[in-house]
Amino acid sequence: MGRKMSRQIKIFDTTLRDGEQSPGCSMNLKEKLEVARQLEKLNVDVIEAGFAIASPGDFESVRQIAGVVRNATVASLSRALPKDIDTAYEAIRHAAHPRIHTFIATSDIHMRYKLKATEEEVLERAFNMVKYAKQYCHDIEFSAEDASRSRPEFLYRVLEAVIRAGATVVNIPDTVGYATPDEYAGLIRGIRENVPNIHRADISVHCHNDLGLGVANTLAALKAGANQVECTINGIGERAGNAALEEIVMAIQTRKDVFDMHTEIDTRQLYPSSRLLTKVTGVKVQSNKAIVGDNAFAHESGIHQHGMLAHSSTYEIMTPESVGLNMSKLVLGKHSGRHAFDDRMKQLGYDLPKERLDEVFAAFKMLADKKKSIYDKDLEALIDEQRSAGMETYHLTEFVINSGNTITSTATVKLMKEQETYEAVAKGYGPVDAAFKAIEIVVGQKVDLEDYALEAVTEGEDAQGEATVKLKVNERVYTGYGLSTDIVEASIKAYVNAINKMPQSAGFREERSAG
């Protein structure tokens, strides 16, 4: 007799929907498409592409993601309303594997104060809307919002009804992160024992992290019989975030003795996925974040280092390589050729088209003239910069800074737009502030600087500076990214990059040409 096959757990990624709703994590269409392609490389089972009815922009991003994703199921969220469901289907209708994900609240507190509806009204609407969605596609997911605070007997009735109406997946969300692992596992067991047709649908769980229990609750639910998890890269999401995909996946993989289950995730894409999301949103993970944090595989204490030298398993329960983090040190220099560069890109897990590879190689050669030692993180940063550049409206051509502790800082900045060069001079509280003000003059638009961060990519006095800015205009936040061995240049590039992401309808006026 062969070994019994472990149970497969489906990974439903909602980074592009629930994750993007978190403050400061909005993405433009190009960025969402890039994240969706990376999620396919990660091999998630379902990509929740957005909330199609929320805005024309959301609808278009869901529609385009549905057009490029070929392997994963593409879902759009919708309230239990005919117009929402119509719009969701219109957005995903050309997906290779479409799913409509509809929801309604089932807890007493939500029904009384938000829906102002009785149990019977909610039950009827849930049944009718799942049945309505079923006319469009086979794969229908139903979520009982605030399930963890719902009266179990009523929840059982709702789930039985929506499965009868055609739901293929029923989701049991801990919407406000209130549950504890024992309670949540008990709820899943209760559903399995008291919903007579539950065998006809997958049981999904969606846990928020308000008490820091998102991953623990998710794993407890899996042990109790759930077989789909809803999660996000880096755990991003509203309030304290969602259960983190990388933590759930690696817990299952690392503790096979406890979890007799598996996922289809390519774990070597976990770190690249985390890094991409960080660059796109500008929201960094803390250094001690499990799996993908900078310190996740760092060992500083003498006792730990001694143990690691003896055998890595003394203090590492998984390898850095298993999550896509390459720990090799110095790799390339100014005399390295194209073949060595291409080979290193492949080792780092980047499968870039030739045009992108040519751009990164050219940037590498320029960096090699400025920097003696080039590390893997330098190469990753170059790729991030090329990714971030995209279609440029403005391009930095020149800047001059005058600064010191006895003078007021001034900056002269020249930007190019459509072959025309524009120049401005401004004063500021420091070189970066002066440069930012000069850029504002060039583009003719006042913006609010929401956040500015600068850090070294690697160690050493010639390290590249990695700058991230967040600019707010018309209540929308745009994230920019810049890279240079000169921290002022990195800052200017980041500011211009954020400006380039803004629609030209944001209020920019025609600039005055310098020449």
The model's pLDDT over 403-452, given as tens digits with 9 standing for 90+, comes to: 999 999 999 999 999 889 999 999 999 999 999 999 999 999 889 999 99
Would you state the pLDDT for residue 4? 62
Are residue 385 and residue 256 in the same domain, yes or no?
A: no
What residues does 456 pair with on adjacent strands? 465
Mean pLDDT, residues 293-314 taken together: 58
Task: Look at residue 78 and give its three-state secondary structure.
Answer: strand
What residues does 422 pair with on adjacent strands? 415
The span from the CA of 380 to the CA of 382, in Å, is 5
Task: Check if the beta carbon of residue 470 is closer than 8 Å to that of residue 477.
Answer: yes
Mean pLDDT, residues 494-515 taken together: 64
Q: Which of 339, 362, 389 is the last residue of a domain?
A: 389
Residue 466 has which token pair?
């990695």
User: Residue 116: left (phi > 0), alpha (psi -120 to 50), or beta?
Assistant: left
Any domain includes 56: yes
pLDDT range class, residue 352, cuts 50, 70, 90: confident
Task: Look at residue 308 and give its three-state secondary structure.
Answer: helix
pLDDT range class, residue 328, cuts 50, 70, 90: low
Q: Which of 342, 368, 389 is the last residue of a domain?
A: 389
Average pLDDT, the chain: 89
Per residue in 92-134, pLDDT tens? Answer: 999 999 999 999 999 999 999 999 999 999 999 999 999 999 9
pLDDT at 515 over 50: no
Would you state the pLDDT for residue 321? 87
Pairing of strands 73-79, 448-456: unpaired
Are residue 374 and residue 400 in the same domain, yes or no?
A: no
The span from the CA of 474 to the CA of 168, in Å, is 41
pLDDT at 308 over 60: no
Would you state the pLDDT for residue 315? 58
Would you state the pLDDT for residue 300? 44
Per residue in 259-299, pLDDT tens? Answer: 999 999 999 999 999 999 998 888 889 989 999 988 887 64
Are residue 484 and residue 448 in the same domain, yes or no?
A: yes
Mean pLDDT, residues 460-475 taken together: 87
Buried b (16+ CB within 10 A) or exposed e, 454-469: beebbeeeebbbbbbb
pLDDT at 512 over 80: no
| Single pTM value for the model | 0.82
Residues of the domain holding 436:
395-506
Are residue 375 and residue 402 in the same domain, yes or no?
A: no
Would you state the pLDDT for residue 26? 79
Any domain includes 355: yes
Would you state the pLDDT for residue 505? 42
pLDDT at 511 over 50: no
pLDDT at 361 over 80: yes
- Smallest CA-to-CA distance from 453 within 404, 413, 495, 394 is with 495
Any domain includes 159: yes
Any domain includes 110: yes
Q: Whose structure tokens read 């209020």?
A: 507
Are residue 115 and residue 46 in the same domain, yes or no?
A: yes
The span from the CA of 59 to the CA of 141, in Å, is 19
Buried b (16+ CB within 10 A) or exposed e, 225-259: ebbbbbbbbbbbbbeebbbbbbbbbbbbbeeeeeb
* H or E element, residue 423: strand 420-428
pLDDT range class, residue 176, cuts 50, 70, 90: very high
Any domain includes 295: no
Pairing of strands 465-473, 448-456: antiparallel
Would you state the pLDDT for residue 354? 84
Per residue in 364-410, pLDDT tens? Answer: 888 888 877 777 778 887 887 776 665 578 999 999 999 999 999 99
Pairing of strands 228-231, 465-473: unpaired
Number of domains in the chain: 3
pLDDT at 224 over 70: yes
Mean pLDDT, residues 302-328 taken together: 65
The span from the CA of 98 to the CA of 133, in Å, is 12
* H or E element, residue 168: none
Are residue 133 and residue 199 in the same domain, yes or no?
A: yes
Task: Look at residue 483 and give its three-state secondary structure.
Answer: strand
Mean pLDDT, residues 203-212 taken together: 98
Are residue 365 and residue 444 in the same domain, yes or no?
A: no
pLDDT at 69 over 80: yes
Are residue 248 and residue 129 in the same domain, yes or no?
A: yes
Task: Check if the beta carbon of residue 162 is closer than 8 Å to that of residue 172.
Answer: no
Give the domain CATH number at 248: 3.20.20.70
Contacting residues for 296 by C-beta, under 8 A, at least 6 apart: 288, 289, 290, 320, 325
Q: How many CB atoms lie within 10 A of CB 1?
A: 3
Are residue 228 and residue 137 in the same domain, yes or no?
A: yes
Q: Whose structure tokens read 């059982």?
A: 156
Residue 247 has which token pair?
């933590």
Mean pLDDT, residues 139-149 taken together: 98
Taking the mean position of all CA atoms in its chain, how far away is CA 149?
Answer: 28
Would you state the pLDDT for residue 370? 81
Per residue in 9-39, pLDDT tens? Answer: 999 999 999 988 776 677 889 999 999 999 9
Are residue 136 and residue 262 in the same domain, yes or no?
A: yes
Are residue 103 and residue 123 in the same domain, yes or no?
A: yes
CA-to-CA separations, 128 to 154, 157, 183, 397, 424, in angstroms, rounded: 17, 14, 30, 60, 61
Any domain includes 359: yes
Tell me the CA end-to-end span of the chain in Å, nearest whole number. Answer: 82
Q: Which of 370, 389, 408 is the last residue of a domain?
A: 389
Mean pLDDT, residues 132-139 taken together: 98
* H or E element, residue 421: strand 420-428
Any domain includes 290: no
DSSP 52: G
Percent of the chain with pLDDT over 90: 66
Any domain includes 4: no
Are residue 458 and residue 494 in the same domain, yes or no?
A: yes
